[in-house]
Amino acid sequence: MDGDLVLKWLSFRGHGRLSDVTSSVAALMEGPPHAKTNAARAYLRRLEVLGHLDLLWPESKWQIRPTVLTQIPGSSAFALVIGQRTAELEERLEAEAVLHKVRAPDTGTTTLGDPGTLLLEYDSEAELSEIAANAGAGFIPCAASSLAANLPLLVPGPRAGGPNTYGSAVEMFNVFQREFTHVEAFRRDGLYKQIVNGRWQYWLLRSGLWSSIGYAEGMCLTMSEVDSQYLQFEILEDAEDPIGTLHVNAGLPLPVQHRQALALCSGVSPVKTTGGPWTYHNVPSSVALAVARSIHQHLKVR
């Protein structure tokens, strides 16, 4: 089964429990059970970043997103189709305009490829909005730019009590070794984690105050204090808002909304070579800057 069939199957299901969909996708992967489960979770996260579904981790649920047509930055001829995808939808879109399916590049991270990218030809924003309405889809002028413009400045989360002294082992992120290590005492400022009810929970300790936080958000805040050179922007098309390629150091995990803003610039997942950075294509300078500012990073332009 390929990525297109997986997305159509998810579109047919619509929603469900995360454990069920993870098990189903894991059955398509290769390797030992634990590795297959991890690969399935990573694959579902990629589909979320591509705008096809939402993963509701606190509720242990998932749901497909409604179909949306949205413009691609730097292009006045092609729009991206994201969200729910069915054979009937594709037929309705093809009846309205020329539809292209572009095979997704190999990300090298799983045995299951991403769904192909659906691109729709259009002549004007008004026409694109009309096509969406006639096909029963939503319309967003440019989802990538909209998401980027609304990215918040990352700050510690709500106040919390911190790790449970009598719970499972506690680990702290070592910024010099770039890994979590076991600690007996947790009094130094930093990012901590502990397994609670079978899942990792994360906290930030700053000036004696604990805050709960997500993994990626905690890593961005922690790493920004020691290094703000994790993002490099390579300009490929000079314009009022230059278009280029954004390279993100693999040691810096980005929050979901930041990855979505970047991935929806092209409609494809970022690519990564062994030992290299994550690379996002067709990114406008404004989007790259918004991402960098949100995570307290300096955008190095070359």
pLDDT tens digits along 45-92: 999 999 999 999 889 999 999 999 999 998 889 999 999 999 999 999
Q: Is the pLDDT of residue 231 over 60?
A: yes
- Give me the sheet containing 199-206, strands edge to edge: 179-183, 170-174, 190-196, 199-206, 209-213
**Pick from 22, 49, 64: which residue ends a domain?**
64
Asked which of 42, 64, 86 is the last residue of a domain, the reply is: 64
Domain range for 132: 68-143
Long-range Cβ contacts of 90-94 (<8 Å, 24+ apart): 90/118, 92/134, 92/135, 92/136, 93/118, 93/120, 93/131, 93/135, 93/137
Tokens of 52: 């096809």
Q: How many domains does the chain have?
A: 4
Q: Alpha-carbon dihedral of residues 163, 295, 117, 45, nearest 10 degrees?
A: 0
8 Å CB contact between 204 and 211 = yes
Same domain, 57 and 79: no
The answer to whether the CB of 283 falls within 8 A of the CB of 241 is: no
pLDDT tens by residue, 233-255: 999 998 889 999 999 999 999 99
The pLDDT, as a whole number, for residue 2 is 85
- The domain boundary residue, chosen from 125, 143, 161: 143
Are 47 and 72 found together in one domain?
no
Same domain (yes/no): 11, 42: yes
Non-local (6+) Cβ contacts of 49 within 8 A are 256, 259, 260, 263, 269
Q: How far apart are CA 189 and CA 202, in angstroms?
A: 13
What is the helix (H) or strand (E) element at residue 182, kind and residue range?
Answer: strand 179-183
- pLDDT of residue 192 exceeding 90: yes
CATH number at residue 294: 3.30.780
Residues 100 and 136 in one domain: yes
Domain-embedded: residue 156 = no
Asked if residue 77 and residue 131 are part of one domain, the reply reads yes
Structure tokens at 5: 């069939």
Looking at the fold, whether 117 and 99 belong to one and the same domain comes out as yes
Share of the chain above pLDDT 70, in %: 98
The answer, yes or no, to whether residue 1 has pLDDT greater than 60, is no
Confidence of residue 106 (pLDDT cuts 50, 70, 90): low
Residue 87 confidence (pLDDT): 94
